[in-house]
């Protein structure tokens, strides 16, 4: 027996020593964390794959190309500009990935150039020729016949030339101030003008009032759907802006600028006023990217680089429109349903569709039990109906709501205005710092204040990203609360495109927690103790860490342990380290991450029990869902927060539990079970961080189609 124990001890020591060597960071071939920017570019590669896929309807293929173009604009405006700032201010600082800003920029430059080249090759060699075969065509000037040229010239002279202001570059005319992402043209010239000047270069700026895509009449086009790009029109006729001089080409170009706003919230006395002042300067931030026509002469390229302080690595020669995203107009104007995804509109769930037409019926339904909505497979209309009823119901005394993104034309905001006009206490927490929606939110805040609503801008230094709507109703002499919590924004349009969960509840504890969060946002005082909600920046991070640690301890004790999580991005280092430790203890971890992921899965000795997959398809995966086995209790949370530093520590977020057993089973199936079965739109992360698309010869399973079938008829 003693000999057996000694052998067992030695075997255990040998196993532990081997495991320790495997876990040593120095022995890992790659860093423990992946680079954020490269991971984001890989996400765009996966989106581009939807445009490459011949089974994707043609106009949708064009739409995905436009989405990648738009994503790259924001990537440069925010991520590349951030790296350049870090390069300037902290050149030796290394991130969790072990890279300095200069290291990261070198890798990013190489990856983006390859991605841009692939995008334009796909546009020109596959998508546009395939669309032409379907009667949808972009008419290039070199291909115009006489009738088309005459029509185009008349259009240019009548509607465009009066708005164009050519600017010659000479001592009296310095280089014009150029707006972020504006379309511009540079024209090399020779000859003398009326004053005897010998200008060699002129710049023509295309006003934003001009359409970037113009429809050509079918009789002129010779096709049902003919279009001309503004670029083609100006390139063809801009020389007429310089009579008596000779133009040696007309070359498009565009500059992308740093668009991150800086407002020192602790120093300003009026955040809205300060933000409005900063917004006016967003279009003139430091330049981070130069896009030029592929035919641009080297000396013109050098001139533009010098003007904007950019290098060769920052310059992109494009074979097509500089702003690919503007071609989205073609997808919207071509009436060819056969070239789009089959039309789908999420139905109103039966429980809501069959409500009696009486005041308060929706409150009775919610009081009878929690109601779960899964958008876009189920309609967003019940949320609108909930707020509509609250605005009209004489027994409702107060409405409280957070607003992050809602759109310029928002039915929900109009309902809040109506409720305030009706004399109800309306409190709206408007996040002014919602990136690229700042002006829209400022406008809504002003309108709400005009009708007497209480408008607050959250907490200084913390964006309010939580999605909450709370209604206080007087019933039998007492106040009862009804709430809606969501993973997505109160934006009816994106609710048709983004996958999100919403929970309607009258659970007293959950609604009381919501009220406490609103009190923290609108007033002052000590931190409120919440019973069911987990809140950033206070308890969400520690709760997630604690739940991971519980699973880790269970696995070490030989008990069943399981973690599943779905989100947009995974970056927070402590959470990633905790997941690595859980994997090493034997916890089975499955992550469904749409975009950025700094965790490396499947690395022996580090993360071999972690699988990461990404679903890219018809809808944008946007919901955040967290599952922990918890000794069989199976805790499920829905949240507004990704697992990122900003969401845990610099934002007001909430995660809310799904308490009803049947709803919990729904969330698990609709978030994870179908995602793990998907073999047409799923991508699996490899140990080097790259994603490989799932290829299966078995029966095709498309998660989005499955959910349309499952929920689309209910």
Considering just the CA atoms, what is the radius of gyration of the chain in Å?
Answer: 28
Do 171 and 210 lie in one domain? The reply is yes
| 482 DSSP β-pair partners | 471
Token readout for 213 is: 């895509």
* Contact of 687 with 583, CB cutoff 8 Å: no
**Whole-angstrom distance, CA of residue 346 vs CA of residue 382:** 11
Burial (Cβ within 10 Å: 0-12, 13-18, ≥19) of residue 709: exposed
Do 332 and 356 lie in one domain? The reply is no
Number of domains in the chain: 3
Q: 490: helix, coil or strand?
A: coil
Do 326 and 362 lie in one domain? The reply is no
Looking at residue 462, the DSSP 8-state letter turns out to be B
**Would residue 344 count as lying in a domain?**
no
**Would residue 445 count as lying in a domain?**
yes
Residue 498 annotated as binding site: yes
**Whole-angstrom distance, CA of residue 373 vs CA of residue 358:** 22
Do 406 and 507 lie in one domain? The reply is yes
CATH number at residue 221: 3.30.1840.10
Q: Mind spelling out the 3-state secondary structure of 631-649? A: HHCCEEEEECCCECHHHHH
Q: Which residue has the tokens 């696995």?
A: 555
Do 549 and 524 lie in one domain? The reply is no
**Would residue 408 count as lying in a domain?**
yes
CATH number at residue 654: 3.30.870.10
- Report the pLDDT value the prediction gives residue 48, as an integer from 0 to 100: 98
- Report the pLDDT value the prediction gives residue 169, as an integer from 0 to 100: 83
Domain span holding position 698: 535-711
Do 404 and 274 lie in one domain? The reply is no
- Report the pLDDT value the prediction gives residue 283, as an integer from 0 to 100: 59
**Would residue 602 count as lying in a domain?**
yes
What stretches in the chain show pLDDT beneath 50? Answer: 1-27, 263-269, 271-272, 274-279
For residue 165, CA distances in Å to 24, 184, 363 come to 64, 11, 60
403 closest CA partner among 424, 434, 446: 434
- Report the pLDDT value the prediction gives residue 268, as an integer from 0 to 100: 42
Of 339, 371, 393, the residue at which a domain comes to its end is: 339
Alpha helices in 178-251 (DSSP H): 218-221, 230-237
Q: Characterise 602 by phi-psi region: left (phi > 0), alpha (psi -120 to 50), beta (else).
A: left
Q: 139, 225, 465, 491: which one is catalytic? A: 465
Residue 622 annotated as binding site: yes
- Report the pLDDT value the prediction gives residue 198, as an integer from 0 to 100: 72
Structure pTM? 0.90
Of 529, 554, 573, the residue at which a domain comes to its end is: 529
* Contact of 401 with 419, CB cutoff 8 Å: no
**Would residue 66 count as lying in a domain?**
no
- Report the pLDDT value the prediction gives residue 109, as an integer from 0 to 100: 97
For residue 555, CA distances in Å to 236, 549, 606, 636, 665 come to 69, 10, 15, 19, 23
Q: Does residue 465 carry a catalytic annotation?
A: yes
**Whole-angstrom distance, CA of residue 202 vs CA of residue 484:** 57
Predicted confidence (pLDDT) per residue in 515-551, tens digit: 999 999 988 767 789 999 999 999 999 999 999 999 9
Do 483 and 624 lie in one domain? The reply is no
C-beta neighbour count of 140 within 10 angstroms: 14
Residue 457 annotated as binding site: no
**Would residue 82 count as lying in a domain?**
no
**Would residue 659 count as lying in a domain?**
yes
Q: Mind spelling out the 3-state secondary structure of 329-360? A: HHHHHCCCHHHCCCCCCCCCCHHHHCCCCCCC
Do 469 and 560 lie in one domain? The reply is no
Residue 319 annotated as binding site: no
Cβ neighbours of residue 82 under 8 Å, at least 6 residues apart?
260
Do 616 and 687 lie in one domain? The reply is yes
- Report the pLDDT value the prediction gives residue 692, as an integer from 0 to 100: 97
628 closest CA partner among 672, 676, 569: 672
Q: Which residue has the tokens 């020389």?
A: 239
Do 328 and 388 lie in one domain? The reply is no
Of 339, 363, 392, the residue at which a domain comes to its end is: 339
- Report the pLDDT value the prediction gives residue 444, as an integer from 0 to 100: 79
Do 517 and 582 lie in one domain? The reply is no
Helices (H) and strands (E) in the chain, counts: 24, 28
For residue 669, CA distances in Å to 512, 659, 674, 676 come to 29, 16, 6, 10
Do 522 and 545 lie in one domain? The reply is no
Phi, psi of 71 (to 5 degrees): -60, -40
**Would residue 124 count as lying in a domain?**
yes
146-155 vs 230-237: helix crossing angle, rounded to 10: 90
Q: Which residue has the tokens 């992550």?
A: 591
């Amino acid at each position: 027996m003693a000999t057996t124990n000694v052998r067992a001890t030695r075997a255990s020591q040998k196993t532990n020593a081997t495991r320790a060597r495997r876990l040593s960071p120095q022995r890992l071939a790659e860093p423990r964390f992946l680079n954020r920017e490269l991971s984001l570019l890989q996400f765009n590669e996966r989106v581009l794959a939807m445009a490459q896929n011949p089974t994707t309807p043609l106009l949708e293929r064009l739409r995905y190309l436009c989405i990648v173009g738009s994503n790259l604009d924001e990537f440069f405006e925010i991520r590349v500009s951030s790296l350049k700032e870090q390069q300037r201010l902290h050149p030796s600082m290394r991130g969790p990935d072990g890279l300095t800003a200069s290291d990261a920029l070198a890798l990013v430059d190489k990856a983006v150039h390859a991605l841009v080249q692939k995008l334009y090759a796909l546009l020109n060699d596959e998508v546009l020729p395939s669309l032409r075969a379907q009667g949808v065509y972009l008419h290039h000037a070199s291909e115009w016949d006489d009738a088309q040229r005459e029509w185009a010239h008349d259009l240019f002279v009548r509607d465009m030339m009066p708005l164009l202001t050519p600017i010659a570059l000479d001592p009296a005319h310095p280089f014009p101030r150029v707006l972020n992402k504006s379309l511009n043209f540079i024209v090399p010239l020779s000859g003398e003008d009326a004053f005897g000047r010998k200008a060699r270069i002129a710049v023509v700026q295309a006003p934003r009032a001009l359409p970037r895509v113009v429809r050509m009449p079918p009789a002129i086009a010779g096709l049902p759907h003919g279009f001309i790009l503004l670029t083609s029109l100006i390139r063809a006729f801009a020389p007429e802006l310089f009579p008596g001089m000779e133009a040696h080409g007309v070359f498009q170009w565009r500059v992308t600028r740093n668009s991150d706003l800086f407002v020192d919230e602790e120093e300003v006395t009026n955040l809205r006023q300060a933000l409005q002042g900063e917004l006016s300067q967003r279009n003139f931030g430091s330049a981070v990217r130069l896009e030029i026509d592929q035919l641009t002469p080297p000396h013109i390229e050098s001139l533009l680089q010098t003007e904007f302080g950019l290098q060769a690595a920052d310059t992109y020669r494009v074979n097509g429109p500089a702003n690919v995203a503007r071609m989205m107009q073609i997808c919207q104007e071509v009436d060819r349903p056969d070239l789009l995804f089959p039309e789908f509109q999420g139905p109103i769930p039966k429980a809501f569709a069959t409500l009696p037409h009486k005041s308060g019926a929706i409150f009775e339904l919610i009081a009878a039990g929690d109601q779960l909505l899964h958008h876009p497979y189920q309609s967003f209309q019940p949320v609108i109906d909930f707020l509509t009823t609250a605005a009209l119901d004489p027994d409702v005394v107060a409405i409280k709501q957070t607003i992050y993104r809602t759109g310029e034309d928002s039915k929900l905001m109009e309902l809040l205005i109506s409720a305030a006009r009706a004399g109800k206490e309306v409190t709206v927490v408007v996040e002014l710092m919602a990136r690229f929606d700042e002006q829209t939110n400022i406008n809504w805040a002003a309108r709400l204040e005009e009708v007497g609503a209480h408008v607050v801008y959250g907490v200084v230094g913390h964006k309010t990203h939580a999605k909450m709507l709370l209604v206080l109703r007087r019933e039998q002499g007492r106040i009862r609360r009804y709430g809606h919590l969501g993973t997505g924004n109160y934006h009816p349009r994106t609710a048709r495109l983004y996958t999100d969960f919403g929970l309607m509840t009258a659970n007293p504890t959950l609604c009381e927690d919501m009220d406490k969060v609103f009190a923290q946002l609108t007033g002052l005082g000590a931190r409120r103790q919440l019973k069911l909600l987990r809140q950033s920046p206070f308890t969400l991070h520690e709760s997630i860490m604690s739940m991971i640690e519980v699973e880790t301890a269970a696995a070490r004790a030989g008990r069943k342990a399981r973690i599943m999580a779905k989100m947009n991005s995974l970056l927070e280092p402590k959470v990633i380290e905790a997941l690595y430790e859980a994997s090493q203890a034997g916890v089975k971890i499955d992550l469904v991450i749409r975009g950025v992921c700094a965790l490396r899965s499947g690395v022996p000795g580090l993360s071999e029990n972690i699988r990461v997959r990404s679903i890219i398809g018809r809808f944008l995966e946007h919901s955040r869902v967290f599952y922990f086995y918890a000794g069989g209790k199976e805790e499920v949370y829905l949240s507004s927060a990704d697992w990122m530093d900003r969401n845990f520590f610099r934002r007001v977020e909430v995660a809310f539990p799904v308490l009803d057993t049947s709803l919990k089973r729904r969330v698990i199936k609709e978030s994870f079970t179908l995602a793990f079965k998907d073999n047409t739109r799923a991508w699996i992360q490899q140990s080097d961080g790259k994603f490989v698309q799932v290829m299966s010869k078995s029966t095709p399973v498309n998660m989005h189609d499955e959910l349309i079938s499952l929920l689309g008829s209910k």
